[in-house]
């Protein structure tokens, strides 16, 4: 079942001709009509906020950047403009929550700024709206805390940063948090463990969308030794976490 679902999604996304299959999962229609597939590219939006963690954002975007002919990458923030990372360097966002086009993939990173944003009701509500209408949703690190705060993960399995596990999981008491996992896939959600784990998860999502060979080729091009096993997570035990 799992492998047939995987191959269906791959086929759907690889071409825009799968409309007749749309009743099966409703995804093809999503991509070809509701979503912005007209320029021949999927749209990936990464949400950022002051105090975001650099590698949470740019590990995954490096890997998706290897699909330049297939995917357009955008940065999104509550208000469009210059957003400063926790380490100092600043980015310029392409869209605000108000003017972002329909996306096929949305991601949210972690970082110190999540401690503020989980209590920023307009941010959480706008992000929730984006999550609901986007077919693939991913979080990196404590980005899972903000995602959990929307309620979207309730009843689903998810993971988050291992050093900040207690705080992050407290934002979603109805989520089935997994302690030992590099990343977790449940339904349309991919949630990853701390910082670097987002890069491994991004390649898993690329594999899900475009197949194993594409993911391996991107990892090799980035000279990246991909941890392909979502259960390989030495950092859970290092932080005293065991399922």
**CB distance 215 to 242 below 8 Å:** no
Is 141 in contact with 197 (CB distance < 8 Å)?
A: yes
Q: Which residue's CB is nearer to its own copies, number 50 or number 62?
A: 62
Q: According to the binding rule CB under 8 A, does residue 235 interact with its own copies?
A: yes
Figure out which of the listed residues 64, 123, 183, 210 binds its own copies, where binding follows CB under 8 A. Answer: 64
Which residue of 12, 72, 114, 142 would you call a contact of its own copies, by CB under 8 A?
A: 72
Q: Are 124 and 150 in contact (CB under 8 A)?
A: yes
What is the spatial distance between Cα 118 and Cα 173, in angstroms, rounded to a whole number? 14
Q: Which is nearer to its own copies, 27 or 73 (CB)?
A: 73
**Virtual CA dihedral for 222, 49, 103, 5, nearest 10 degrees?**
60
Looking at the Cβ atoms of 93 and 134, the one nearer to its own copies is 93
The CA distance from 66 to 197, in Å, is 18
**What count of other Cβ atoms lies within 10 Å of the Cβ of residue 203?**
27
Q: Is 167 in the site for its own copies (CB under 8 A)?
A: no
Q: Which residue has the tokens 């399995």?
A: 157
229 binds its own copies (CB under 8 A): no
Residue 82 is a binding residue for its own copies (CB under 8 A) = yes
How many residues are there in the chain?
A: 243
Distance CA 209, CA 16 (A): 14
Nearest approach, Cβ of residue 84 and its own copies (Å) = 9
**69 makes contact with its own copies (CB under 8 A):** no
Query: Could you tell me the smallest distance in angstroms from the CB atom of residue 18 to its own copies?
Result: 26
The nearest distance, CB 224 to its own copies, in angstroms, is: 4
DSSP tag of 103: -
Q: Which of 5, 90, 155, 187 binds its own copies (CB under 8 A)?
A: 90
What is the radius of gyration, based on Cα positions, of the chain? 17
Task: Tell me how crowded residue 51 is: count the other CB atoms within 10 A of its CB.
Answer: 18
User: What is the DSSP-derived secondary structure letter of residue 102?
Assistant: P
* Binding span for its own copies by CB under 8 A among 31-39, 120-128, 129-137, 155-163: 155-163
Q: How far, in Å, CA of 210 to CA of 6, rounded? A: 9
**Shortest reach from residue 37's CB to its own copies, in Å:** 18
Binding to its own copies in span 109-148, by CB under 8 A: none
Task: Using the minimum distance from each CB to its own copies, give the nearer residue, 71 or 152.
Answer: 71
Under the binding rule (CB under 8 A), the answer on residue 222 touching its own copies is yes
Q: By CB under 8 A, tell whether 62 contacts its own copies.
A: yes
List interacting residues with its own copies (CB under 8 A): 46, 53-55, 57-59, 61-62, 64-65, 68, 72-75, 82, 85-92, 161-163, 193-197, 220-225, 227, 234-235, 238
């Amino acid at each position: 079942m799992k492998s047939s679902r995987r191959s269906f999604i791959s086929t759907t996304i690889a071409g825009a001709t799968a409309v007749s299959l749309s009743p099966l999962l409703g995804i093809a229609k999503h991509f070809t009509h509701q979503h912005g597939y007209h320029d021949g590219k999927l749209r990936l939006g990464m949400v950022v906020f002051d105090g975001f963690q650099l590698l949470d954002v740019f590990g995954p975007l490096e890997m998706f950047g290897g699909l330049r002919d297939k995917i357009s990458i955008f940065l999104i923030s509550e208000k469009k403009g210059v957003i400063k990372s926790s380490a100092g360097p600043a980015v310029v966002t392409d869209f605000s929550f108000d003017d972002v086009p329909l996306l096929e993939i949305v991601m949210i990173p972690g970082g110190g700024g999540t401690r503020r944003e989980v209590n920023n009701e307009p941010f959480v509500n706008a992000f929730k709206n984006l999550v609901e209408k986007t077919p693939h949703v991913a979080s990196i690190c404590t980005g899972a805390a903000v995602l959990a705060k929307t309620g979207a993960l309730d009843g689903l399995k998810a993971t988050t940063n291992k050093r900040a596990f207690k705080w992050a999981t407290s934002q979603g008491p109805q989520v089935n948090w997994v302690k030992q996992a590099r990343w977790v896939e449940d339904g349309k959600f991919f949630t990853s463990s701390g910082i670097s784990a987002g890069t491994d998860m991004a390649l898993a999502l690329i594999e899900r969308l475009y197949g194993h060979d594409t993911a391996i080729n991107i990892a090799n091009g980035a000279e990246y030794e991909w941890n392909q096993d979502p259960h390989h997570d030495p950092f859970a035990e290092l932080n005293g976490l065991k399922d």
